[in-house]
Structure 1
Amino acid sequence: MAETQRFHDRVALQLDDDGVAQLRLSRPDKMNAIDAGMFAGLVAAAEALQAMRGLHAVVLHGEGRAFCAGLDMASFGRMSEGGGVANGLNDLLERTHGLANQPQQVAWAWRELQVPVIAAVHGVAFGGGLQIALGADVRYLAADARMSVMEMHWGLVPDMAGIPLMRELLRSDVARELVFSARIVDAEEACRIGLGTRLCADPLAEALALARGVAGRNPDAVRGAKRLLNQAADGDAASLLMAESVEQAKLIGSANQREAVLAVMEKRAARFQD
């Protein structure tokens, strides 16, 4: 096993001798919740993988009790105080990474990576955590996995590439119901509707087995297949990624969005202005 690289103390990366990389969200005390360091770490790790020679496949998973609990609660606290974009991120409309902004890139980067990415999901994958998982080519779920398009709970819309990624995986009405309701689905339902690929007794072991199988294939064929599959699925991804950012930029820090956060944190019914 090669030495572990760490990115912003939030993401750990190891490359095995067979060309399989293990990318681990490494903030277990916070259930791998996404803060500024996690955003930066995931983008930096993706850039390192893009430049890595001898890479054949990537396994993406979370350390500790969960895959990723979504955006860090402290960020929501700052929003409720009128702090604007979470964690001091730049203008959402700025395309900092090709088609995407930085928050979108932590999920969209796995689509752009030339090799297959397999996510092993256990515990929760909520909000931004779900969108990171959706960026993978395959998602193996543990029986305890729970998923949610959680953004509406906080008065927001999915804006980390969730819309272009969900349109490939879900029926339109199913995606709309999940977005509008922000409800939590268990692993069995997640696999049935398309958020997960299949249930596994040991998702990480099976993800590694798949990745090692891929590593034994013709790498030119594997990369060609991913390009073709992306082309079939993406359509006009650039417009969707920008549309996510436009809608979210209008919402973050607005009166009703701050009220949504305060209501959740204060455990009361929200009082929205219409």
Structure 2
Amino acid sequence: MAHEHEQEREFVLEIPEFAHLSYGVEEGVALVTLKRPGALNALSQDLLRELAEVVEVIAQDSEARVAIFTGEGKAFAAGADLKEIAALKDPFMAREYALLGQGVFAEIAALPIPTIAAIHGYALGGGLELALACDLRVASKDARLGLPEVGLGLIPGFGGTQRLPRLIGRGRALDLILTGRHVSAEEALGMGLVNRVGEDALEEAKKLAEKILKNGPVALALAKESVVRGEGLDLSEALEIEADLFGYAAATEDMKEGVRAFLEKRPPHFKGE
């Protein structure tokens, strides 16, 4: 006999089986690790598709408040898979290949929570473009970053020609893109390509995530949205967006708790409401 009122089912997040990456969440930090160490985590099409899947998981995972992307072994990601690039037969296949990478990285960039790339070893070509899709980048002292595609007779195709100039300026971006040279972590820090440099990129990224996690989750999402939506707009239009989102933030329970905690000289206890 059917119950008059069905009991509400608890949402259970389904995590796919991944062959080329791992995913886990601990204390609010979602960690995505590329796992093709034998190929220096080169971004094959299969790995790109798994990245798209894991982004969907992160977007649905209520426990994930900050996401860190890193690589297993000696490199963050040494670039796209050259065997797959060599197999591209015509401009149409190559265009679809570029659109696949661009689409995946656009999904990473569109995540509402803060994202951090923890870079060690090589972050070249598609690997650097993956890092550029994240909000923040932390590098270990051994990191080497660059877009070397012109040396292969190509151009960056996963967003590098567009995201890099927006991040570090046209002149500096063209320096890297047209020479194809690699830069050290320290030079990358000096040009604003990375935000922090430390002995261990993942540990530094986790420390950065801890600082972010102390703040209100709704405010974090709205702050990121304000920056992203305001890019490329006239200042007056961008300020309108900021005012709207400020108003939204001011109506949240988190804002009331944050102000109350400040006045009471205690740490806030945000609930994301």
- TM (norm. structure 2) is 0.74
The one-letter amino acid paired with 2:178 is F
Equivalent residues of 2:15, 2:57 under 8 A apart? no
Distance 1:171 1:229 in 2: 17
Number of equivalences: 222
Task: Using the TM superposition, give the Cα deviation of residue 137 of structure 1 relative to its aligned residue in structure 2, in angstroms.
Answer: 1.0
Q: Does 1:214 align with 2:219?
A: no
Distance 1:51 1:74, change over 3 A: same
Identify the match of residue 223 of structure 2 among 222, 225, 245: 225
Consecutive unaligned residues of structure 1, counting only runs of 5 or more, are 94-100, 237-274
Distance 1:234 1:92, change over 3 A: farther
- TM (norm. structure 1) is 0.74
1:204-258 deviations in Å (ceiling 9; x for gaps): 112112213322321110000110121233559xxxxxxxxxxxxxxxxxxxxxx
| Structure 1 residue aligned with 2:62 | 53
| Structure 1 residue aligned with 2:5 | none
User: Alignment partner of 2:189: what SS?
Assistant: helix
Identify the match of residue 11 of structure 1 among 3, 10, 21: 21
Distance 1:28 1:172, change over 3 A: same
1:24-79 deviations in Å (ceiling 9; x for gaps): 11111110001121111111111111122232100111100000010112123324
Distance 1:181 1:9, change over 3 A: same
Asked which structure has the greater RCO (Cα within 8 Å, sep 6+), the reply is 1
Distance 2:153 2:174 in 1: 15
Task: Using the TM superposition, give the Cα deviation of residue 85 of structure 1 relative to its aligned residue in structure 2, in angstroms.
Answer: 6.7
Distance 2:91 2:19 in 1: 22
Provide the identity percentage: 30
Distance 1:45 1:234 in 2: 29
Equivalent residues of 2:161, 2:177 under 8 A apart? no
Equivalent residues of 2:165, 2:172 under 8 A apart? no
1:69-128 deviations in Å (ceiling 9; x for gaps): 10112123324xxx2479x777368xxxxxxx3211332222200000011100000100
RMSD of equivalent CA atoms:
2.5
TM superposition outliers: structure 1 runs of 4+ over 4 Å? 4-8
The one-letter amino acid paired with 2:207 is A
1:141-169 deviations in Å (ceiling 9; x for gaps): 11110011122122122221223321221
Q: Does 1:139 align with 2:137?
A: yes
Q: Does 1:69 align with 2:74?
A: no
| Structure 2 residue aligned with 1:102 | 100
Distance 1:224 1:70, change over 3 A: same
Task: Using the TM superposition, give the Cα deviation of residue 7 of structure 1 relative to its aligned residue in structure 2, in angstroms.
Answer: 5.3
The one-letter amino acid paired with 1:180 is L
Q: Does 1:151 align with 2:149?
A: yes
| Structure 2 residue aligned with 1:25 | 34
Larger Cα Rg: Structure 1 or Structure 2? Answer: 2
| Structure 2 residue aligned with 1:128 | 126
